[in-house]
Amino acid sequence: MTPENAAMTTASEMLLALRNPDSGWLATLVVALGEAQADPSFSAQHQQLLAELCAGQPIPLVVRAAALQRSLDFERRLAREEDGLAAAG
Asked if 18 and 30 touch (Cβ cutoff 8 Å), the reply is: yes
Q: What is the helix (H) or strand (E) element at residue 79, kind and residue range?
A: helix 61-88
pLDDT tens, position by position, 25-82: 999 999 999 999 999 999 999 999 999 888 888 999 999 999 999 999 999 999 999 8
How much is the pLDDT for 89? 77
How much is the pLDDT for 57? 85
pTM: 0.67
Domain map (residue ranges) of the chain: 1-57, 58-89
Asked if 29 and 37 touch (Cβ cutoff 8 Å), the reply is: no
How much is the pLDDT for 3? 72
How much is the pLDDT for 8? 72
pLDDT tens, position by position, 55-71: 888 999 999 999 999 99
